[in-house]
Structure 1
Amino acid sequence: MGKCCKCNGRLLCMCLLPCMMTGHLLIYIMVSIFVTISYAPPKITIHYIAPGISANSSALASHPLGPFWNLRLEDGALWNQLQHAWDRQHNPILRRNTTGINRKPKAQLSTEIKDDCLSDCTSHKCSVPHAHDFNSLPEQIRAFIKSMHCREYPFLINQPGMCRRRSNSFGADSPMLLIAIKSQVGNFENRQAIRETWGRSGLVRGETSKKGGLVHTIFLLGRQDSSTGPYPDLKNLLELESQKYRDILQWDFRDTFFNLTLKDLLLWQWLQKYCPTATFIFKGDDDVFVRTDALLDYLHKEREEHNLWRGYTNDTEMNLFVGDVISNAMPSREPSTKYYIPETFYKGVYPSYAGGGGVVYSGSLALRLKEVSERVHLFPIDDVYLGMCLHRLGLSPRHHPGFLTFDLSITDRENPCAYRSVLLVHKRSPKEMLTLWKQLQNLHGQC
């Protein structure tokens, strides 16, 4: 009888054990499913919605699912094809692999068409690189495509001795800050307001410290774009302005929105030849207001920190690039906006870039950007192109909350103390620049 009970107990245990294990397994699976369903991934901060996104669309700029720079060829997108060919051309591994290749990729064929145009960049009379439905694209895109291979333009006005001449007059070796402003021929009031306020050339004191630095200001211009309508002939007035202030750089290309990228390239070329020892470069538009004294304080602090860390890292290059950083932005596909980039020209996301009218970067980085830009095809939006070149260097722009892309709130704009943490604000008219300049004198003492 006792043996029978023991046998029955063992048999019962053997029967119940699989059931218990199966039950535990079911509970584990249910808990796993519940956790998976209820899990919310980390929220991605959308810092910026790309310009041109329709107000009726609920779709925000998507988070990049992969790296911006890759060797994947995007069929049908001209810029991607051209850049893909350049990436292969400059890749030392792929460049040696010439055996067994009997067919040229589409991008390579496009670059060959492009090479036929190199002899005549100033008149833009050249063959058009292959692009789907080229004639259906907006005029500004077509004009850009026709001349996007051109990177050398002759000077109309140059200041070859600017850094050397003005540095010597103040007993300095080189400028602490070179302010380079993108302007147009007819924007004399903007240039004059900048000269009289935050863009004054000479020795400038910091806001809170005795340290300051030598500041030079230059204005970057192309020639008037006659294709958009008749303009008064301001050539003689511009020459008088240049003779008086000696701060105008003008090149022989059409001054259009999509040609702003050329001003960056040509500025870097000018810096390399005529002002290679400038410590920092501020590049901005002629409708921004900069608190130059506060910016100098910030730059002195950055240089001191770099010099401190250089002793530990032996890194002599200062890779500072600061502004209002825009991330997770997609190209605008809205034809009515000036930022419109069709899919037949470019596919993919934009790299992180700094926009909003102005950025500041180190002079040594400017020279590196000049070198790497020779391996990055021109892009119609200048801020995005800078992000592309930075990405190719393996660098990222640094965000600074003092660069106000979209201005202060309406209630704070008239309050001088609201500008204490501001380095740049956008936009300001010439009259507003003069008014704000007077209000911000001795700001540190007022607040």
Structure 2
Amino acid sequence: MGDPETLSGGNGLKRQLVESLFRQKKPVFHVWFQFLLLMCLALVVLCYTLFTSSLPWESFSLSEHYGRLLNQTNQAHLLPAYRVHPKHKVKLSETTKSPTVPPTGTQYHQAYAPNYHFIMDNTEVCKNKTPFLVLLVPVAPNNVAARDAIRQTWAKNSLVQGEIVLTLFMLGLSGGADVEQVQEKLKLENLQHHDLIQSNFMDTYLNLTIKTMVIMDWLATHCPTAAYAMKVDSDMFLNIDNLVIMLKKPGIPKLNYLTGMLMWNRPVLRSKNSKWYVPKELFPDPTYPTYTLGMGYIFSSDLPGKFVNVSKSITPFNIEDAYIGMCMKKLGLAPKSPPDPSQFKAYNSRYDRCEYSKIITYILGSSEELVKYWTDLKKPGPPC
């Protein structure tokens, strides 16, 4: 088109010629102008989308964030960066890929366990014997120290108080460049101990709800004949003898039974700085329904299948023990207080042999503490 300053300073003939050409090309100019305007608008939208997707998660709705994160972690095992063997890959359903809620608006699939599959399993453990109690321990793939400490202590004997007790470890997939080496080590560990179960979700803190529901799915599918099961964290001191004694007491329900350290009227934390932050979009109520603290809770064998089925109608959020409480509420059930609530303790300030001989749970600081305390508890002589 030329420089505007040149146009304003030229002679009259040149000015008339340019204006004449401009009038002739005006329709064409309008078409190109509209095209460029649309292109600019599209570019602005694209830049805005890229910019917002790179913002910290606090700057947008956690409902969108958690759905997006779950969607990413659900499918992260498909990315070349994780270099998972092709036989471990799975094509997730279209509903699983939805970042928040499928079109029906009534079913939620991020925490629906059948959307995942097991890549390492020990399905025969409940076929060869009918356990009274199955302990499922969620643990990180690379946390061998915790698994070994548990094997040396409360998982050492499969016969407790005359009852068969099985202990299994639930793992997801590890991220990072060394995933193949981690998988090979896990295979060797499982060949030695036959107690690992691994599913193809990414093993992250935000996926604890998925991990818990996969535990429930495994129990419902592969071990429905057990009388009871327990989800127990890997950093726990578990007095397994006292637990079996409790479950064998007269009057302990065999159906619809969930017990542990009960949490009543616990407020939902809305501070984005909190590790346990849950936004209103995921959980609108100000308080959680009554639930059992996630360090360790016991349930009858009929509940895992019910939890899996009802999970499709509950918005997933990352507080796994409160999520189980929501499952109970949706089923029209409620957790029950244990016969002696004082046996379920969280943290302790010091080790006391007499105290540890009476309790069922305590949270510990390390695997070394577990081995040390257990060894002392089991030494000859009365503990009190």
Query: TM > 0.5 between the two?
Result: yes
Q: Which residue does 1:10 correspond to in 2?
A: none
1:297-336 → structure 2 map (5 Å cutoff): 297-301=245-249, 304-306=250-252, 318-336=255-273
1:151: how far off?
4.6
Letter in 1 for 2:211: K
Give distance in 2, aligned partners of 1:373 and 1:280: 20
Secondary structure class of the residue paired with 2:261: strand
Task: State yes or no: 1:395 paired with 2:333.
Answer: yes
Check the 8 A contact 1:320/1:365 in 2, yes or no.
yes
Give distance in 2, aligned partners of 1:442 and 1:320: 34
Q: Which residue does 1:292 correspond to in 2?
A: 240
Give distance in 2, aligned partners of 1:202 and 1:146: 36
Q: Which residue does 1:194 correspond to in 2?
A: 150
1:377-416 → structure 2 map (5 Å cutoff): 377-399=315-337, 400-405=341-346, 407-408=347-348, 410=349, 413-416=350-353
Secondary structure class of the residue paired with 1:175: coil
1:362: how far off?
1.2
1:402: how far off?
1.4
Secondary structure class of the residue paired with 1:298: helix
Letter in 1 for 2:115: E
Check the 8 A contact 1:289/1:428 in 2, yes or no.
no
| Residue from 189, 192, 200 that aligns with 1:241 | 189
1:254: how far off?
0.6
1:428: how far off?
3.8
Q: Which residue does 1:262 correspond to in 2?
A: 210
| Residue from 277, 289, 294 that aligns with 1:340 | 277
Query: C-alpha deviations, 1:109-128, integer Å up to 9, x for none?
Result: xxxxxxxxxx9539999453
Q: Which residue does 2:164 correspond to in 1?
A: 214
1:253: how far off?
0.9
1:416/1:150 CA distance change after superposition, 3 Å: closer
1:351-362 → structure 2 map (5 Å cutoff): 351-362=289-300
Give distance in 1, aligned partners of 2:282 and 2:312: 20
Q: Which residue does 1:183 correspond to in 2?
A: 139
Query: Mean Cα displacement is larger for which, 237-246 or 339-348?
Result: 339-348
1:299/1:342 CA distance change after superposition, 3 Å: same
Query: C-alpha deviations, 1:261-312, integer Å up to 9, x for none?
Result: 12222222222222111111010111011000011100100xx3258xxxxx
Task: State yes or no: 1:121 paired with 2:92.
Answer: yes
Give distance in 2, aligned partners of 1:233 and 1:122: 29
Give distance in 2, aligned partners of 1:193 and 1:402: 22
Secondary structure class of the residue paired with 2:248: helix
Query: C-alpha deviations, 1:410-430, integer Å up to 9, x for none?
Result: 2xx232012243110012411
Check the 8 A contact 2:110/2:316 in 1, yes or no.
no
Check the 8 A contact 2:111/2:311 in 1, yes or no.
no
Query: C-alpha deviations, 1:218-269, integer Å up to 9, x for none?
Result: 000000134xx97783111111001111110101111111211122222222
Give distance in 1, aligned partners of 2:281 and 2:96: 22
Letter in 1 for 2:251: E
1:283/1:127 CA distance change after superposition, 3 Å: closer
Letter in 1 for 2:124: G
Letter in 2 for 1:424: T
| TM-score of the aligned structures, taking structure 2 as reference length | 0.68
1:335/1:78 CA distance change after superposition, 3 Å: closer
Q: Give the unaligned 5+ runs of structure 2.
A: 1-60, 68-89, 102-107
Check the 8 A contact 2:112/2:308 in 1, yes or no.
no
Q: Which residue does 2:43 correspond to in 1?
A: none
1:319: how far off?
2.4
Give distance in 1, aligned partners of 2:261 and 2:181: 36
Check the 8 A contact 2:112/2:213 in 1, yes or no.
no
| TM-score of the aligned structures, taking structure 1 as reference length | 0.59
Check the 8 A contact 1:269/1:370 in 2, yes or no.
yes
Identical amino acids, percent of aligned pairs: 29
Letter in 1 for 2:168: I
1:162/1:151 CA distance change after superposition, 3 Å: same
Letter in 2 for 1:372: V
Check the 8 A contact 2:217/2:304 in 1, yes or no.
no
Give distance in 2, aligned partners of 1:184 and 1:428: 16
1:225/1:337 CA distance change after superposition, 3 Å: farther
Give distance in 1, aligned partners of 2:144 and 2:325: 30
Secondary structure class of the residue paired with 1:446: coil
Letter in 2 for 1:157: M
Check the 8 A contact 1:289/1:425 in 2, yes or no.
yes
1:435: how far off?
0.7
Secondary structure class of the residue paired with 1:351: coil
Aligned CA-pair RMSD? 3.0
Give structure 1 regions of 4+ aligned residues with deviation exceeding 3 angstroms.
Answer: 76-79, 119-130, 145-151, 229-233
Task: State yes or no: 1:159 paired with 2:122.
Answer: yes
Query: Mean Cα displacement is larger for which, 254-263 or 366-375?
Result: 366-375
Secondary structure class of the residue paired with 1:282: strand
Give distance in 1, aligned partners of 2:281 and 2:383: 55
1:389: how far off?
0.7
Check the 8 A contact 1:225/1:256 in 2, yes or no.
no
1:240/1:446 CA distance change after superposition, 3 Å: same
